[in-house]
Structure 1
Amino acid sequence: MIDRNISVLIPDGEAPVLMIVLNCLSEVRGIKIHVMSDDNEIPMKHSNKVHKFSFYPKTTNTDFINHINKEVDKYNIDVIMPIFEDAIRVILEHKDLISSINKLALLPSYENFNTANNKGLLNKHLAENNLPFPKTQMIDKGVDFDIKTVDFPVLVKPAEGIGGGNGIDVFRDKSGLNEFLNSDKFNCTYLIQDYVEGYDIDCSVLCKNGEILAYTIQKPNMFGNSKYAPQISFEFLENDVLFKDVEKLMKTLNWSGVAHLDMRYDKNANNFKVIEVNPRFWGSVEASLFAGVNFPYLYAAASLGYEFDMPKYKFIDFMLMKGLVKSIKNDKSYLFKLNFIFKHTPMKYMLNDLKPTFYRFSRFFMRKIRPKKNFQHFIINSL
């Protein structure tokens, strides 16, 4: 698709999804990946997929933008591609300070980014646009709340931030909810949301001005430490009803860029309810790659103005590495399913790029022994 060598700058290399975005971009020849970070110790700085790593200590938002401008000028960057919420928010707030605004990847407006990222604002938007979502109420510490308005069971979760399933609880009666409201856990704005009987299902998208350019739909079949933790194994499938709801939501948000929508099938209402929108790259980006949709590459291509047909994806099963580990613990025979491991897990990327893995292991090991710095210095320099 892209007919020349290009350079991509990821300005938020400290983001937890860096490794999987790098793995996807590295599948395409001719892409030079530049990574900028406020953490000089990230394992992926040692990756053979990174053309150039630059460290800038974290200071002000203005400095962050200036550092981006410096990298763009110094290395003739073609696309500035932030990959996580914090950097995206800062860039949208200070777009006027970016010297080469034409090189910025597709992004939504600041207002629509905040609407998607904040669960309370998102629910208001869903209601205004007649899109299905669980009945939701906002509650704040110190503000009177009438518990009689709650229909149990309910899901309680922070209105913004945290992620990874953290801070989410289900309450089936008034006593449990009252205990939470009077505890130290209640320390930010929370949502009280009707608990939906059914199953989780997700949709990942790449959009431009509200139009979906690429997407995948996946249904989880294994979670991490709890059913509210991120999915670690899933199957890809198609669902026209769900897609039409996603299409409408992206259009009403006039969305540009990538997003991952957490949804849930309501078996009682027989519809798909929007739970939340992650307005950035997500933890299963590699899975979509294996299914046939390379979101990071398509994101770069679309941002450069290239047009392409909507890619079709395969209906495969996929496990993240945590899913594979969990499966092996439960069934040792998975150790011998090599064909599955290399075609349905990210194992090949770990084996093709061992230095970050070794560095990550050495950092973990360093915490267990003393002296720390000298041994780590020896380990890293010996690679």
Structure 2
Amino acid sequence: MATTEDATTTKAPWYAGVNRYQWLVLAIASAGWIFDAFEGQIFNITREQMLGELLGANGDPGAIRRWGDSFLAVFLLGGTLGGVVFGSLADKFGRKPTMAATVLFYSIFSGLTYFATELWHVAALRFLVALGVGGEWAVAAALVAEVFPARARAHASGIFHATSVLGTWTAAIVGLLVGSQWRYAYLVGIAPALLVLWVRSSLVEPESWRRAGESGQKLGSFKELWGDPRWRYPALGGVAMAAIGLGTFWGVTVAGQDLARERLIRDGVSREEASAKSKFAYGVVETAGGGLGLLCFGPLAARLGRKPAFALMLICSVLIVPITCYAPRNYTQLLAILPLFGFFTLSTHAGFALYFPELFPDRLRATGTGVCFNGGRLLAAPILWFSGEIKNQPGIGLQAAVAGLGLLFLVGLAVLWFMPETKGRPLPE
């Protein structure tokens, strides 16, 4: 049974007492999330080449950006459905078979993108990939929270989510290697299917989930999730928090690549060179800062509490966005700021992996976690559409649009006010 012991109440390091199987669970969950991130980011890295080819003569920069943001919105919608459905299935039938199914789902449909020749092909395949991506995160986040002891949970969950940086780096490297031959990047997306063998051979169902099933409780019930105010209000707040996090990720954090590209073009660099350098700026430099932010969130939440850690990072995000948009006078200066931009604007995503599983009981943990994070994708989709529209308005410009979208972090602070603090509390049963 979970205890209220916290990593800050003992002098022993947080990882003291963590056994081999718990490390194995973290490794498997992280591997799945790394490939999740790859599947999501490979489109962002290659979309200029992909959409330029598929749009043909109509492939001007404005059209590419507009279609790119539209397909990202489709991805968010697919992730919503996948997270909700697969999260419930994980509570009903177990973590192990559901995780294997989600990995197969996003691997197969990513590989099929190699054959896309029409825009609707891309839309359909991105939706199907997102089904698996959304589902895998919900299952993995719940599994890590259930397996690790209370005093190590914040750190382990932070590490789990921070490994997404490896997926982004992999996508950036693959994107640079394939260049204009974007189709080959999606063939790499088939590789995660091998992870299924590891999942099937190594994982066992958590004891807490088995106890919930043996007690005769109804597992993965949406009726209970929304009907019981103990779970309904945290779920609604979690959805709102995730919507702000995901909306600002795709509208603000990812825009670091666009800011770098525009900066280089204004400095007289050719579009081809600007495209390659902007991939490096976002996929490597900014993402390095983002990864550090994700790693730091767990220890910060363990020390300060979940809500204070979120609040601190949201306030810093509000401040760093306009600085990143307007302070740099050249590409080198922008490169110096991008790690801080990534650090603050991305850090709270590790908090979602830690915080959401702590809000729900064993019988609803994957369901509630999936609803929060992936329900947030649904609300983030209009933000993404609005982001694409405002960034293409001639009278506004990219810098002003991104700076304006950064004010959404203030909305996140308002939502946070109404959420419960879970530091030091046992997982609900």
**Please, what TM-score do these two structures have when normalized by structure 2?**
0.25
Instruction: Please identify the structure whose Cα radius of gyration is greater.
Output: 1
Higher strand share: 1
The higher-RCO structure (CA 8 Å, 6+ apart) is 2
